[in-house]
Amino acid sequence: MELDLGPEIAQFRADIRAWITTHAPDGLAELADWNTLITTGGYGYGRRTAATQHEAYRQWEAELLAARLICPQWPEQFGGQGMDAVRVAVFNEELDSAGVPRVNRGMGESLVGPSVIVHGTDEQRAAFLPRIVSGEDVYCQGFSEPGTGSDLAGLQTKGVVDGDEIVITGQKLWTSGAARANKMFVLCRTDPDAEKHAGISFVLIDFTDPAVSYQPVRQMSGAAEFCEDFLDGVRAPLFNVIGGLNNGWRVAMTTLGYERGGSASTLHLGYEREFWELAQTARKRGVSADPLVRQQLAWAYSQVQLMRFSGLRTLAGLAEGRQPGPEASISKLFWSEYHKRLGEIAIGIEGTDGLIRPDGDGYPTTYWQNVFLSSRAGTIYSGTSEIQRNIIAERALKLPREPRPTANGASR
């Protein structure tokens, strides 16, 4: 059943569908399975990345750019068209059903842009935003450090003001997309004497600077999608500090909280396609009549459909003008825990086939071996399941916060 979002949205859907049909270059949809699930570890990633080098993709990117359909949710004066979450969701749905990609600007679009829009000066907006939309600047994230996982505010990377520059020294970790990035947004400590959350600044740096180096971190899946980065006295103009010195925590929290629900109704699509692949694997293995396997498959199907139902409900709420509450945390907890369990089910269905990897250098894996291994990261990155549960319990259920430990280790 398709959600009835009213005549205006129906018209928008018809218009955007027609636009996509007219403007999508021939052969684009066939270049890659643009909208299948990409797991951590990058299964299927290579083919998609290669496809983005193709002429048809570049042409599509140019068409979208001209129509302001890159970062379309940004306000008009910053290069977007102020698309609301419902329209973004419909746009995503239509791209998916046409089999063509949404050209997004990664963390520049989802995290840096909103930060600069909310906390930047007019000059900063003019300097940084157009280059994100055009694709000239590709950002990676410099938040986590070896010593700071969930407790992000404990970060140690130093930022020292030197004249009209800031000099940044420290180590960052879990950077995805480092190889493609030319910029990094960094959290660093600019006032070591201030209270933990108070002395942090949010800075945009040149990631191609010689004082930056990075190396891949190999994951248990064998893939190396994340990097650790060494910032050895990287200089950036003070102009690149967003929201003012020592105000970075607030800027970062705005960034992380900037979730508008635009992916609500498309999140399940990749999992749904993956589910049918697993059903097919079960048939091929001759276990689809096994009562236990049938229970597991029905469970998995239900979980995917629950994602769909919840997404539609979120979308219906957005269409009625309600702001999303804890849906983002619930959704993250749901899909990451689901996928972990699915990986266990899938490798069980592979049975003895799951014991053997494909031949090849390094650690090549089958798709299901990769899901089994890489899904363990999903409940850890972007806020662990435990952090999500804290957020859900404290914000949605208003349960009391954990008492903060005092300096001498006792709680108060």
Which residues contact another protein by CB under 8 A?
1-4, 279, 282-283, 288, 291, 294-295, 297-299, 301-302, 305-306, 309-310, 312-313, 316-317, 319-320, 326, 330, 333-334, 386, 388-390, 392-394, 396-403
Nearer to another protein by C-beta: 60 or 275? 275
Nearer to another protein by C-beta: 96 or 272? 272
Angle (nearest 5°) at CA 216 between 214 and 217 = 125
| Least separation in angstroms between CB 319 and another protein | 8
In whole angstroms, give the CA distance from residue 405 to residue 154. 14
In whole angstroms, give the CA distance from residue 130 to residue 109. 11
| Least separation in angstroms between CB 180 and another protein | 34
| Least separation in angstroms between CB 375 and another protein | 18
The region that residue 163 occupies, defined by phi over 0 for left and psi between -120 and 50 for alpha, beta otherwise, is left
The runs of H, that is alpha helices, within 181-246 are none
Nearer to another protein by C-beta: 157 or 331? 331
Q: What SS3 state is found at 174?
A: strand
The residue from 259, 272, 337, 394 that is catalytic is: 259
Residue 63: active-site member? no
| Least separation in angstroms between CB 386 and another protein | 7
Angle (nearest 5°) at CA 349 between 345 and 355 = 100
Nearer to another protein by C-beta: 49 or 150? 150
Q: What SS3 state is found at 216?
A: strand
| Least separation in angstroms between CB 323 and another protein | 14
Nearer to another protein by C-beta: 22 or 411? 411
In whole angstroms, give the CA distance from residue 390 to residue 233. 36
State how far the alpha carbon of 235 is from the alpha carbons of 146, 167, 174, in Å: 22, 5, 22
In whole angstroms, give the CA distance from residue 353 to residue 254. 46
Q: Looking at the annotation, which residues are catalytic?
A: 259
